[in-house]
Amino acid sequence: MTIAMTAPRRPGAAKMMRQYELVDRVRSYNPHADEDLLNRAYVYAMKAHGAQKRASGDPYFTHPLEVAAILTDLKLDDATIVAAVLHDTIEDTESTREEIDGLFGPEIGALVEGLTKIKKLDLVSKRVQQAENFRKLLLAVADDVRVLLVKLADRLHNMRTLHFVPPDKRKRIAEETLDIYAPLAGRMGMQGMRSEFEELAFAHLMPAAHETIRARLEHMQATSGTLINRIESELAERLAGRGIRAEVKGRQKEPYSIWRKMEQKSLAFEQLSDIFGFRVVVENIEDCYRAIGQIHTRWPSVPGRFKDYISTPKQNDYRSLHTTVVGPGRQRVELQVRTHEMDSVAENGIAGHALYKDGRVLDLQVLANESRAYDWLRRTIGQLAEGDNSEEFLEHTKLELFHDQVFCFTPKGRLIALPRGATALDFAYAVHTDVGNSAVGSKIDGRIAPLMSELKNGDEVEISCAKGQVPPAAWEGMVITGKARAAIRRATRSAIRTQYAGLGRQIVARAFDRAGRTLVDEKLKAVLPRLARQSIDDVFASVGRGEMYSGDIVKAVYPDVTEERKAGAAPEKGDLGWFGLSKVENLRFKFPDAPGGAIPIRGLGGNLPVRFAPNGGAVPGDRIVGILSPGEGITIYPIQSPALMAFDDKPEAWLDVRWDIDMAHKELFPAQIEVTCINEPGCLAAVTAVIGDGGANIDDIHFLVRSPDFRKILFDLEVWDLKQLNAIMSHLRTQPVVSQVERVNG
């Protein structure tokens, strides 16, 4: 069973399918079809679309009819065919969901609604609109696979008539098809449809390359046609002689698959050795393995090219045996050996499962629930839909769809399918989100390996976990699966929210103390509606982010409380007295000129000017590197500085330097720390006292965030070394008014 391939019609030449023709197409495979339902849908859609025209000039109603025709080739049920006929009525006519439900029932209404794009949204860009519509479609697909089949057929007919569309829109639609709909069809096992998507998109996006490869293939067909026929007949005769009934079909690869291989492996057309492919279709699984044995005894096999997707099916339900042999004329030949049922599923995916008994169509949704491909899609949608915006959803779905697969195993033998290029960390998230979030190490085939190790087919992977582990935000850029990226992003957001909630709780507790009251969670929970928050943690996180003022929380719980100081009173820059700075008498402030001159560092020669990196500096004890900039001299960075990433592609600028400190003549070095502290009288005094007691100089103070409840302050310091700096930071973290202390590495 294959999808009918029809050439696009010319303007004015379209022949609209008649009402009886639609019924006859469905009755050809389903004698018990509901003719009345099909007729009513035909008439309703024709009236609804009225005089609407397509870009080709054809009546718009020809489009839903062609979509329905594609689905009758797949032998789908009445409800799916009717949904195809009606699929644009809600979106492009005056029809409503309520009207469709009333005339055709809620099942068909739900299918049509799932296929309707979102129109009335205040969206900032076309990309966001595309992403939101795709998200809506896939969420509907998770409920009913028939939505996906109608959408794919809809896109297929649009691609067949894409040459009528303006060039700028044509390019966008072709790119979207190649990026999303072709791999989506492939992941659902519908290889016939995927191949047509790719060919049509390739022809529009790169017409010159498509035409060149097409011409080369036609020339090769003319010169090698006898070779294909020879291999077909030789294979068929050999298998028949061994009692194996088989259909042997020879073919050349399509232009897009050839172009993709040339791009991926940097090959010229002449270097391709496996342009010919043959499919051997037999009666049963036993004959598959017998046929492979006969093929390998007739022609030598290419090492490493045999794959058994029968014992280990792909995640899209694809099953077949693959091999490559050196055939007649020393020509490499790819062969696929499968049964008739496997061939049907390979071409049409879920629709290939739709068997017909006693003239009745089996329930496609029931069949889909038994499909590995549909189960994967529903799980993927569920994992990606949580908490991500539409553009992230689209990005992660592309990641899940577009890669070939590798198959790995847990120590207990569970098979995990991952995109090619996936790492042990991707594997951990594929096992379970909690395993990924708590992963600290891995073993691959019994050997300790980094979590970022790329996996190969057949690897056995064991993940080591630790309680309390939080995935670093940097992990998001080191994994390739959408599930892993979405989980890391959610965990990072959760950790940040927890951090803000902790700061907020401290701030609110101290606000209650100032008011002479005690913070009681139950009382706070009772006033959540007044605060417009869902939970106590939401309240604390809002205070920690500076979105709510702690005094408002106190007043919500105890309306009779009067506050002594104004909620909005925020000191101006330089107004240090409010913080209680006058209490500090032994603190020295120093505002030197920009650092320059001699710096005691080995590895530097000549009289080049040397300076420390801005926004953080470096101190003895840091591992350091020097960056040579022509005309500017040498800049010293600590090895952990993110700024060094800008020099990754300039290895000639890196200098190997290290500290050379004379302990008899110690010097001070620049460093920056960022302190988040509760906004109350004396808080700055407490922080500066710790810095002064630690023996450091303060060069400057910058207020990064000014909130009624807290301040985020950047301190420019001068310290002797890293040991002194770490001691000061540790002491600051013990202060009741301090929530967080971080060193800045610019």
> By mean pLDDT, which of 255-264, 347-356, 504-513, 666-675 is the weakest?
347-356
Q: What is the DSSP string of 324-365?
A: EEE-GGG-EEEEEEEEHHHHHHHHHGGGGG--EETTEE--HH
The pLDDT, as a whole number, for residue 682 is: 84
589 φ/ψ angles, rounded to the nearest 5 degrees = -100, 140
The pLDDT, as a whole number, for residue 633 is: 73
Total Cβ atoms within 10 A of residue 380: 21
Quick one: 171 exposed, middle or buried, by C-beta within 10 A (0-12, 13-18, 19+)? middle
- Output the six-digit token pair for 82: 């009717």
> By mean pLDDT, which of 188-192, 441-445, 677-681 is the weakest?
188-192
> By mean pLDDT, which of 8-22, 42-56, 640-654 is the weakest?
8-22
The pLDDT, as a whole number, for residue 269 is: 74
* 559 pLDDT above the threshold of 70: yes
What pLDDT band is residue 661 in, cutting at 50, 70 and 90? confident
CB 70 within 8 Å of CB 85: no
The pLDDT, as a whole number, for residue 395 is: 57
What pLDDT band is residue 673 in, cutting at 50, 70 and 90? very high
> By mean pLDDT, which of 281-290, 389-398, 538-547 is the weakest?
389-398
CB 103 within 8 Å of CB 36: no
The pLDDT, as a whole number, for residue 290 is: 93
* 201 pLDDT above the threshold of 60: yes
- Tell me what the pLDDT averaged over the chain comes to: 78
- Output the six-digit token pair for 562: 């009067």
The pLDDT, as a whole number, for residue 357 is: 39
Amino acid in the structure at residue 118: I
CB 401 within 8 Å of CB 187: yes
Enzyme catalytic residues: 91-92
Q: What percent of the chain has pLDDT over 90?
A: 18
The pLDDT, as a whole number, for residue 119 is: 45
Q: Which of residues 449 and 269 earns the better pLDDT score?
A: 449
Q: Which of residues 214 and 270 earns the better pLDDT score?
A: 214
CATH 3.40.50.720 fits 19-201, yes or no: no
* 254 pLDDT above the threshold of 80: yes
* 639 pLDDT above the threshold of 70: yes
CB 501 within 8 Å of CB 541: yes
* 576 pLDDT above the threshold of 60: no
Annotated domain spans of the chain: 19-201, 209-353, 372-488, 492-557, 574-746
CB 81 within 8 Å of CB 72: yes
Q: What is the pLDDT of residues 427-472, one digit of tens each?
A: 999 888 889 999 988 999 888 888 888 888 778 899 999 887 888 8
* 476-481 contact pairs (CB < 8 A, 24+): 478/423, 478/425, 478/452, 479/422, 479/423, 479/425, 479/426, 479/429, 480/399, 480/403, 480/419, 480/421, 480/422, 480/423, 480/426, 481/399, 481/400, 481/418, 481/419, 481/422, 481/426, 481/429, 481/430
> By mean pLDDT, which of 241-250, 300-309, 426-435, 660-669 is the weakest?
660-669
CB 255 within 8 Å of CB 210: yes
Q: What is the C-alpha separation between 511 and 532, in angstroms, rounded?
A: 20
- Output the six-digit token pair for 154: 């809809």
* 166 pLDDT above the threshold of 60: yes
Q: Of 411, 470, 410, whose CA–CA distance to 438 is shortest?
A: 470
* 570 pLDDT above the threshold of 50: no
Same fold, 19-201 and 209-353: no
* 603 pLDDT above the threshold of 60: no
Instruction: Round the CA-based radius of gyration of the chain to a whole number and report it.
Output: 34
The pLDDT, as a whole number, for residue 11 is: 40
Q: Which of residues 469 and 65 earns the better pLDDT score?
A: 65
The pLDDT, as a whole number, for residue 91 is: 86
The pLDDT, as a whole number, for residue 514 is: 83
The pLDDT, as a whole number, for residue 121 is: 39
The pLDDT, as a whole number, for residue 361 is: 47
Q: What is the C-alpha separation between 128 and 390, in angstroms, rounded?
A: 7
The pLDDT, as a whole number, for residue 401 is: 52
The neighbouring-strand residues paired with 443 are 448, 462
Residue count of the chain = 746
Q: Mean per-residue pLDDT for 21-25?
A: 91
The neighbouring-strand residues paired with 213 are none
The fourth-level CATH superfamily of domain 209-353 is: Beta Polymerase, domain 2 (3.30.460.10)
CB 380 within 8 Å of CB 399: no
The pLDDT, as a whole number, for residue 553 is: 87
* 128-133 contact pairs (CB < 8 A, 24+): 128/390, 128/391, 130/176, 130/394, 131/389, 131/390, 131/391, 131/393, 131/394, 132/390
Q: What is the C-alpha separation between 117 and 92, in angstroms, rounded?
A: 10
* 184 pLDDT above the threshold of 50: yes
Strand order in the sheet with 332-339: 246-252, 276-282, 332-339, 321-326, 307-308
Q: What is the C-alpha separation between 377 and 369, in angstroms, rounded?
A: 11
Q: What is the pLDDT of residues 364-385, one digit of tens each?
A: 555 555 555 566 666 655 555 5
* 175 pLDDT above the threshold of 90: no
The pLDDT, as a whole number, for residue 641 is: 84
Q: What is the C-alpha separation between 267 and 56, in angstroms, rounded?
A: 39
What pLDDT band is residue 391 in, cutting at 50, 70 and 90? low
* 106 pLDDT above the threshold of 60: yes
- Highest averaged pLDDT of the listed ranges 531-545, 605-619, 729-743: 729-743
The pLDDT, as a whole number, for residue 606 is: 45
Q: What is the C-alpha separation between 236 and 295, in angstroms, rounded?
A: 10
The fourth-level CATH superfamily of domain 372-488 is: Beta-grasp domain (3.10.20.30)
- Is this prediction's pTM over 0.75? no
* 39 pLDDT above the threshold of 90: yes
Q: What percent of the chain has pLDDT over 70?
A: 78
Total Cβ atoms within 10 A of residue 363: 11
| CATH no. for 574-746 | 3.30.70.260
Instruction: Work out the end-to-end distance of the chain between its first and last CA atoms, rounded to an integer number of angstroms.
Output: 62
Q: Is 532 left (phi over 0), alpha (psi -120 to 50) or beta?
A: left
